[in-house]
Each structure stands twice: as structure tokens, then as C-alpha cells.
């Protein structure tokens, strides 16, 4: 949130929030050289959460049932929980020998009995309190959990360890809870159930507000849920109603929609609130603001392919999400509004050619985030790649990347490799010039494919 600002660049784009910091969050205290499932000593396979939220007091009460497999014998398990305090912990139904929640975010649990390697086990954590940072109050008195900040509202393991997710949430009369995945109807009053078969905690979110909830389906039957916080429906509904068209367009470029539910959640945290893209259902934190527009919806929906399904592994790989989501709006404008992208490319390059600051941050540099360059120079660089390898290879590359990496965490060098493989060309010089370099590309790369004016 702190890292966002509106960006004016010919068009005004809403800058989506920086994707959550993902690197190095594996918090399991026991390290081992033993081969373990999913690359770690503990593989969480399911989160089954029951929460109650009282908006007036910002009070969250929860119970998390976590199912996991031990890759090696475990005497201690560490989860992350910031804000609410754990009040009771059981492992395989037995009260834990001890559990310690330290000042930052770790919840260290010692089971009563050592957990044997290779076995499945269940942890139940009951907890209560004010949610931690990332739990954002909305202007209408509700709250929205920022994607990637799962530990603000439930005890969580590795942010990139995909698991089944089930949420049963209650709130006072008049309030609704909207999360990710498919909605399951509850017979209990003011109880909301959401289920997603496989999701990384990094891509979870939940929002609670006095929502107006509208349900439709895509042509293939995929359920769609749109939720509007008070006062936002008039402005946001015309955007939400374009969702089938947007998803059709993106499917045409990237291949089948990656998930089995869709929709949009509109809340107002503040006027500069960014769009975010949890799995299946983007959340607009500044919905109704003067910045909110259709291109923001296109950008966030594009993240379902580029950013959520094929997700960047480390902050340094963020171009894989933001360059492509930003470039998606270019393709949309070309297709829907007839924008001449070659002319736009020429105008921007000519305007920025001698502007050293514009080129100074690499789109890919090990150990560094691309930052705002991904939003402004990202689409430019992808348009240059399009000109460099031609329509057929570029189209095939966009689609194959999204489809081959369905539900995977991936890194930038893998993309360069696929681009070379599909185009059959050595692109080292091109990628160095446009993605790894920090100065304006040499003319041979700056005007690829005869795009020079
Ligand atoms: Zn984005």
C-alpha cells in the first residue's frame, strides 16, 4: 500500500499494489536435508478456517484446522500469525505441549508427541483479537485483508505452498463476507462459505462489508460473484458487467481461464487504494475513486493468468506479473478501441529516449524488484519483444507461458528461455537491452522489426 502511487503516462493507470513479499517466508523451525514433499519439511495440504468478525470492534475470532504432511520427524512446528492471539492449540486432537507466539509473527508449536516423518497430521489453532497489518478498514466500516497478508487473519505456513482452502465466516446481520473460490450456500443465518481446491496463501483475500452481492455465470457455467460495498454499485457495476467480455478477450490471448470461479470485489479503503488480484476475484481497494476505470479491471483480471496461476517466485521476477498485466491493457485497447500500438510505442520511445531516469531500473535484476518500471516500461518492452519475434511467435509465447505454468511459481529466466525456444532465435542481446539493461537500448533493439519512425 505504501508503495503505490497513481502513474500518469499518456493514460492514467491505477498502480496495483506491489505483490506481496514472498521470498524466504518458510518459517518451519526444523531444517533437514531429507527429501521432503513439496521441497520442505512440512507440506500443508488444507486450511479449513472458521471465523467470526465483529466490524464495530474490529474483533476477529477464529479457529483454523490445518492438515499437513511431515517430511521429517517434527518436535516443533512454526506457523505465522500477526495480530490475533492463539488461545488453544491441538495437534492430532491432543493439546500441544506448548505454543509460543513471539513479538513478530511466529507461532511456535510443540506437539505433545513427536510427529513421525512421512505422516499426515492436523493442527487446530483457536485465536482471537484485532487482525494485524494488512487488514484494511474500509470507509463503510468493513475490512479487506490485503492479498499476501494472510498471517494478519489466520495462522499460515509457507505463502507459496498451495493448499485446499475452505472458509466459513459469520458476521452481524446486514454484513457479508466474500473470499476467493466458489461460494457454497450455508443454511445458517449470516454465514458465508467459500471453497477453493488449490490456492497459495499469497493469493488469498477476504473482505467484509455491507455488500450488495450479485451472482451470474460465464457462458461455460463458471460462477461469477460481484460484491459492491455501499455507494459503489452505480460506478462499479458497468465495469463488472464487462467481465465476460474481458475474460473472453484474455482467454483468446492466454488460453483457458485458469480457475473455476470468477468475479470482482469493490471496496473503498481510500481514494488511492490500488487494485489487487487475489485468486479468482480481484479486489479494488479504491473502487469508486476517480482513478478506477475499465483498464484497471482488465489489468487485474489479466493477473489471473499472469501473476496468480503462473505466479512470480521472488520479488525480482515481478515483471512476470506486472509487465504482462500492464501489457494486457495495451492489447485490449488495440483490440477494443483501435489504438495503434506501434504509434504509441514510437511516441513513448521518442519522448523518453534521452530521459535517463526512465530507463534506470532494470525490469529484471537478481536481488532487486523492478518497481514502477514494470508498469510503465514493461508494456513497452513487451511490445518491442512482439516486434522482435513477430505475431505468430509472440502470440504462441503468451499462451504457452500461461498454460505450461498453470498453478506454478516461476522465474524470469524461464521466460527468456521459452521465448528463445518458441521463436527459434538467440534473444540474449534483446533481453539484455530491454529487460536487464539500465540505459536506453541501442538502436538495433530500440526499433525492432522495422518499427523505427
Ligand atoms: Zn498488477
Residues 101, 40, single domain; the answer is yes
Residue 19 predicted with pLDDT over 80: no
Dihedrals phi, psi of 4, to nearest 5 degrees? -105, 150
Residue 345 predicted with pLDDT over 50: yes
Distance, CA 300 to ligand 1 centroid (Å)? 6
pLDDT for res 110: 97
pLDDT for res 160: 95
pLDDT for res 452: 60
Distance, CA 99 to ligand 1 centroid (Å)? 38
Distance, CA 429 to ligand 1 centroid (Å)? 27
Average pLDDT over residues 179-183: 98
In tens, the pLDDT along 160-173 reads 999 999 999 999 99
Residues 352, 445, single domain; the answer is yes
In-domain check, residue 169: yes
In tens, the pLDDT along 125-151 reads 999 999 999 999 999 999 999 998 999
Average pLDDT over residues 323-341: 98
The more confidently predicted of residues 423 and 33 is 423
Give the mean pLDDT of the chain. Answer: 90
Residue 37 predicted with pLDDT over 70: no
Average pLDDT over residues 91-103: 94
Residues 370, 406, single domain; the answer is yes
Distance, CA 52 to ligand 1 centroid (Å)? 30
Average pLDDT over residues 40-62: 95
Residues 40, 151, single domain; the answer is yes
Residue among 304, 296, 265 at smallest CA distance from 283: 265
What's the CATH code of the domain at 376? 1.10.390.10
In-domain check, residue 373: yes
Distance, CA 20 to ligand 1 centroid (Å)? 11
Which one of 251, 274, 304 terminates a domain?
304
Lowest mean pLDDT across 36-40, 339-343, 392-396: 36-40
Residues 298, 344, single domain; the answer is no
Residues 99, 212, single domain; the answer is yes
Residues 106, 241, single domain; the answer is yes
Residue 35 predicted with pLDDT over 50: no
Distance, CA 178 to ligand 1 centroid (Å)? 21
Distance, CA 250 to ligand 1 centroid (Å)? 15
Residue 17 predicted with pLDDT over 50: no
Average pLDDT over residues 360-383: 96
pLDDT range class, residue 453, cuts 50, 70, 90: low
Average pLDDT over residues 174-187: 96
Question: What cell was used for 300?
Answer: 487485474
What's the CATH code of the domain at 167? 2.60.40.1730
Residues 92, 141, single domain; the answer is yes
Rounded CA-CA distance 379/339 in Å is: 14
* Domain, as residue range, for 281: 20-304
Residue 40 predicted with pLDDT over 80: no
Number of domains in the chain: 2
Average pLDDT over residues 51-59: 96
Average pLDDT over residues 243-258: 98
Distance, CA 163 to ligand 1 centroid (Å)? 23
Residue 328 predicted with pLDDT over 90: yes
pLDDT for res 450: 64
pLDDT for res 67: 98
Residues 162, 231, single domain; the answer is yes
In-domain check, residue 4: no
Residue 10 predicted with pLDDT over 70: no
Residues 234, 116, single domain; the answer is yes
Residues 290, 368, single domain; the answer is no
pLDDT for res 26: 23
Average pLDDT over residues 197-217: 97
pLDDT for res 237: 98
In-domain check, residue 5: no
Distance, CA 319 to ligand 1 centroid (Å)? 10
Amino acid at each position: 500500500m505504501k508503495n503505490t502511487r497513481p502513474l500518469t503516462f499518456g493514460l492514467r493507470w491505477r498502480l496495483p499494489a506491489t505483490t506481496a513479499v514472498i521470498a524466504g517466508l518458510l518459517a518451519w523451525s526444523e531444517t533437514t536435508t531429507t527429501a521432503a514433499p513439496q521441497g520442505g519439511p512440512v507440506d500443508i495440504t488444507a486450511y479449513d478456517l472458521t471465523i467470526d468478525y465483529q466490524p464495530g470492534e474490529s474483533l476477529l475470532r477464529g479457529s483454523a484446522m490445518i492438515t499437513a504432511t511431515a517430511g521429517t520427524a517434527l518436535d516443533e512446528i512454526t506457523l505465522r500469525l500477526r495480530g490475533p492471539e492463539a488461545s488453544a492449540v491441538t495437534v492430532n486432537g491432543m493439546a500441544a505441549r506448548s505454543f509460543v507466539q513471539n513479538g513478530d509473527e511466529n507461532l511456535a508449536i510443540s506437539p505433545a508427541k513427536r510427529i513421525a516423518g512421512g505422516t499426515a497430521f492436523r493442527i487446530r489453532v483457536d485465536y482471537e483479537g484485532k487482525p494485524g497489518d494488512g487488514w484494511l478498514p474500509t470507509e463503510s466500516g468493513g475490512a479487506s485483508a490485503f492479498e499476501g497478508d494472510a498471517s494478519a487473519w489466520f495462522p499460515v505456513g509457507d505463502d507459496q505452498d498451495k493448499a485446499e482452502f475452505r472458509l466459513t465466516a459469520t458476521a452481524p446481520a446486514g454484513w457479508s463476507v466474500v473470499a476467493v473460490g466458489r461460494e457454497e450456500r450455508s443454511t445458517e443465518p449470516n454465514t458465508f462459505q467459500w471453497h477453493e481446491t488449490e490456492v497459495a496463501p499469497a493469493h488469498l483475500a477476504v473482505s467484509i462489508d455491507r455488500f450488495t452481492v450479485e451472482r451470474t455465470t460465464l457462458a461455460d457455467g463458471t460462477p461469477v460473484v460481484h460484491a459492491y460495498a455501499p455507494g459503489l454499485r452505480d460506478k462499479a457495476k458497468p465495469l463488472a458487467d464487462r467481465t465476460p467480455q474481458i475474460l473472453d478477450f484474455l482467454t483468446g490471448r492466454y488460453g483457458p481461464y485458469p480457475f473455476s470461479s470468477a468475479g470482482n470485489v469493490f471496496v473503498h479503503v481510500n481514494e488511492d487504494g490500488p487494485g489487487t488480484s487475489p485468486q479468482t476475484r480481484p479486489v479494488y481497494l479504491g473502487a469508486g475513486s476517480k482513478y478506477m476505470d475499465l483498464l484497471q479491471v482488465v489489468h487485474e483480471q489479466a493477473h489471473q493468468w499472469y501473476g496468480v496461476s503462473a505466479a512470480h517466485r521472488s520479488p525480482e521476477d515481478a515483471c512476470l506479473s506486472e509487465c504482462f498485466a500492464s501489457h494486457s491493457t495495451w492489447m485490449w485497447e488495440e483490440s477494443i478501441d483501435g489504438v495503434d500500438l506501434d504509434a504509441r510505442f514510437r511516441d513513448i520511445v521518442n519522448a523518453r529516449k534521452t530521459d535517463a531516469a526512465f530507463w534506470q531500473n532494470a525490469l529484471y535484476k537478481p536481488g532487486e524488484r523492478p518497481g514502477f518500471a514494470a508498469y510503465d516500461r514493461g508494456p513497452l518492452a513487451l511490445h518491442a519483444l512482439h516486434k522482435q519475434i513477430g505475431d505468430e511467435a509472440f502470440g504462441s509465447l503468451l499462451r504457452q507461458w500461461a498454460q505450461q505454468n498453470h498453478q506454478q511459481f516461476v522465474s524470469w529466466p524461464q521466460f527468456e528461455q521459452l521465448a528463445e525456444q518458441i521463436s527459434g532465435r538467440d534473444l540474449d542481446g534483446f533481453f539484455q537491452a530491454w529487460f536487464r539493461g539500465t540505459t536506453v537500448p541501442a538502436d538495433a533493439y530500440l526499433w525492432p522489426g522495422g518499427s523505427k519512425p
